[in-house]
Amino acid sequence: MTTIFSRIIKGELPCRKVFENERIIAFWDIAPQAPVHILIVSKKELKSLQEAKEKDQLLLGEMLLIATEIAHDLDIQEGYRLLTNIGSDAGQVIHHLHFHLLGGRVLGHIA
In order, the DSSP letters of 26-70 are EEE-SS-SSSEEEEEEESS--SSGGG--GGGHHHHHHHHHHHHHH
Position 107 contacts ligand 5GP (CB under 6 A): no
Position 110 contacts ligand 5GP (CB under 6 A): no
Q: Which of 9, 27, 34, 42: binder of ligand 5GP (CB under 6 A)? A: 27
Q: Which of 91, 108, 110, 111: binder of ligand 5GP (CB under 6 A)? A: 91
User: For this structure, is 98 an active site residue?
Assistant: yes
CA gap 32, 37 in Å, rounded? 5
Position 62 contacts ligand 5GP (CB under 6 A): no
Position 29 contacts ligand 5GP (CB under 6 A): yes
β-strand partners of 27: 17, 39
